[in-house]
């Protein structure tokens, strides 16, 4: 064992012991620990030149107290992070869900994909979640029947679990309450629960929530679901044979896209769905006659539901058969052409503000001031030019949250298979950051926007059955 000192740059390291029974590489490792200079960069001056890793100490004549010189550049010192790394799996479950970027999946409890896909699509509506959170556990004095109340509570709790969990959720309580309220979803065949129609599940759940979620401080019959999803229609009913004509008004929770050989796009299907024929007794003719009903939208919701009428009852096979025809649908849907004259008049000013904001974004000339809002809303000031894409800030005189008639796609419920009561249902939901998630029961996966537009049908792949659009407002 030999003790030496080593000079490196302006520093001197004293009393360094050299184990001469080990190779010089071990000595270099000692110096690396002291200086930060890697062994391969060290040049140590000894008798005969530079110390090599495999040199024999006995030939170098290194003595006790000898001073050696080292040349070399140290590695950059790696500083410890200010905060220790935190792994996602170590976070609390609520924070894990936020870090994941989307809510959890739902376990299939035995042919329940129709229910899972419905829940995932409706779960994408934040206003619905807020309404459910404020729903009371106390049913007394509300006039709501117990089964509707229980199903509403189960919906609220299931949505809460989806938001707080990173692991798949088992919606067993919701399923039990759904089957209790609507026994058709408890049908069995050979002691196995049967597949059901997702559109029927969607419709029944929305109807139940429309009965239980009432607006605070409004009339007892006013429903938050009506504000979110309700569509007011005005219809002209005409009989060409007798000349009779009447008008009707109704509220619905979805528009129907009727599919025929000449329908290739959603707009065409909606046009067909708003003009239908029916048979009823004609008072003037004293017998059954054919009437034509032409409907127009008279009030629009925040969220527009569109159902593709893909299934019909086939008597030969005694089951619902599926129309596989490809029907394209847009990411942006404008329903202005389907509105009544009265509603079109109300939409003109908000639509102009929206167009001006979009033009300003691209540096195009805006049309300028419009006083349509003043005419419609009784405003004391006219709407000015919009100078940015931030439509809410376009003009302080414009009332907030006005519908424009333009909607953006936020969810698609698809069906794969040949029959509504078989096959597989999946929910595709757009997230706040713009990415899409395919909720295939308990297995969510990220999808690209172009994949969503390929769900238009034409084969045995997943095809859109229900589309949910969100209103673009100012």
Burial label, 374 (beta-carbon count in 10 A; 0-12, 13-18, 19+): middle
Active site residue 113: yes
Asked if residue 170 lies in contact with residue 109, where contact means CB atoms within 8 angstroms, the answer is yes
Phi, psi (5° rounding) for residue 166? -100, -20
Cα separation, 368 vs 231, whole angstroms = 32
Cα separation, 474 vs 468, whole angstroms = 20
Active site residue 424: yes
The per-residue pLDDT for 253 is 97
The per-residue pLDDT for 289 is 93
Of 102, 113, 339, 462, which is the active-site residue? Answer: 113
The per-residue pLDDT for 90 is 58
Q: Kindly give the confidence (pLDDT) of every residue in the chain, 474 residues in length, as a single tens digit, with 9 standing for 90 and above.
A: 889 999 988 889 988 888 888 888 888 888 888 888 888 889 888 877 888 888 888 888 888 888 888 988 887 655 666 666 665 555 555 555 455 556 899 999 999 999 999 999 999 999 999 999 999 888 765 678 999 999 999 999 999 999 998 899 999 999 999 999 999 999 999 999 999 999 999 999 999 999 999 855 444 445 789 999 999 999 999 999 999 999 999 999 999 999 999 999 999 999 999 999 999 999 999 999 999 999 999 999 999 999 999 988 777 767 778 889 999 999 999 999 999 999 999 999 999 999 998 888 887 776 655 444 444 343 333 333 333 334 343 343 434 579 999 999 999 999 998 776 789 999 999 998 899 999 999 999 999 999 999 999 988 889 999 999 999 998
The per-residue pLDDT for 26 is 84
Asked if residue 336 lies in contact with residue 351, where contact means CB atoms within 8 angstroms, the answer is yes
Q: Full-prediction pTM beyond 0.85?
A: no
The per-residue pLDDT for 392 is 41
Give the pLDDT confidence of 312-327 residue by residue, as tens digits.
877 776 777 888 999 9
- Strands 287-299, 275-282: pairing is antiparallel
Of 257, 415, 424, 462, which is the active-site residue? Answer: 424
Query: What is the torsion angle, in degrees rounded to the nearest 10, for the CA atoms of residue 313, residue 314, residue 318 and residue 322?
Result: -70
Beta bridge partners of 144: none
Give the pLDDT confidence of 426-442 residue by residue, as tens digits.
999 999 889 999 999 99
3-state SS class at 399:
coil
Number of Cβ atoms within 10 Å of the Cβ of 403: 21
- Strands 192-193, 188-189: pairing is antiparallel
């Amino acid at each position: 064992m030999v003790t030496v000192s080593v000079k490196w740059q302006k520093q001197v390291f004293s009393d360094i012991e050299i184990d001469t029974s080990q190779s010089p590489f071990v000595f270099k490792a000692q110096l690396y620990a002291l200086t930060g200079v890697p062994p391969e960069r060290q040049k140590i001056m000894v008798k005969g030149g530079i110390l090599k890793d495999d040199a024999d100490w006995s030939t170098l004549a290194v003595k006790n107290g000898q001073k050696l010189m080292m040349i070399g550049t140290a590695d950059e010192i790696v500083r410890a992070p200010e905060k220790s790394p935190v792994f996602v799996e170590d976070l609390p479950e609520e924070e894990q869900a936020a870090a994941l970027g989307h809510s959890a999946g739902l376990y299939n409890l035995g042919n329940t994909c129709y229910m899972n896909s419905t829940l995932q699509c409706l779960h994408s509506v934040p206003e619905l979640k807020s309404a459910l959170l404020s729903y009371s556990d106390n049913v007394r004095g509300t006039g709501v029947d117990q089964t509707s109340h229980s199903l509403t509570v189960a919906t609220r709790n299931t949505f809460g679990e989806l938001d707080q969990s990173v692991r798949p959720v088992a919606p067993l309580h919701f399923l039990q309450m759904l089957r209790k309220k609507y026994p058709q979803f408890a049908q069995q065949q050979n002691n196995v629960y049967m597949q059901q129609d997702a559109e029927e599940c969607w419709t029944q759940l929305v109807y139940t929530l429309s009965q239980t979620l009432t607006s605070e401080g409004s009339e007892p019959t006013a429903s938050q679901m009506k504000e979110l999803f309700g569509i007011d229609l005005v219809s002209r009913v005409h009989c060409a044979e007798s000349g009779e004509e009447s008008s009707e008004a109704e509220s619905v929770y979805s528009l129907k896209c009727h599919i025929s050989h000449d329908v290739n796009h959603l707009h065409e299907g909606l046009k067909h769905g708003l003009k239908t024929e029916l048979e009823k007794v004609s008072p003037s003719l004293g017998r059954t006659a054919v009437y034509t009903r032409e409907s127009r939208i008279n009030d629009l919701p925040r969220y527009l539901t569109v159902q593709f009428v893909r299934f019909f009852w086939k008597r030969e096979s005694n089951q619902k058969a599926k129309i596989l025809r490809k029907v394209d649908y847009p990411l942006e849907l404008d329903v202005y052409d389907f509105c009544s004259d009265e509603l079109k008049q109300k939409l003109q000013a908000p639509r102009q503000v929206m167009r001006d904001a979009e033009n300003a974004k691209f540096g195009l000339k805006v049309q300028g001031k419009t006083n349509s809002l003043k005419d419609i809303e009784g405003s004391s000031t006219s709407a000015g030019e919009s100078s940015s894409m931030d439509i809410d800030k376009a003009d302080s005189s414009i009332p907030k949250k006005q519908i424009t008639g333009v909607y953006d796609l936020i969810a698609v419920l698809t069906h794969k298979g040949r029959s509504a009561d078989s096959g597989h249902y999946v929910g595709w939901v757009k997230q706040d950051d713009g990415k899409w998630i395919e909720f295939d029961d308990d297995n969510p996966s990220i999808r690209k926007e172009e994949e969503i537009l390929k769900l238009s049908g034409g084969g045995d792949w997943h095809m859109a059955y229900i589309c949910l659009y969100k209103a673009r407002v100012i």
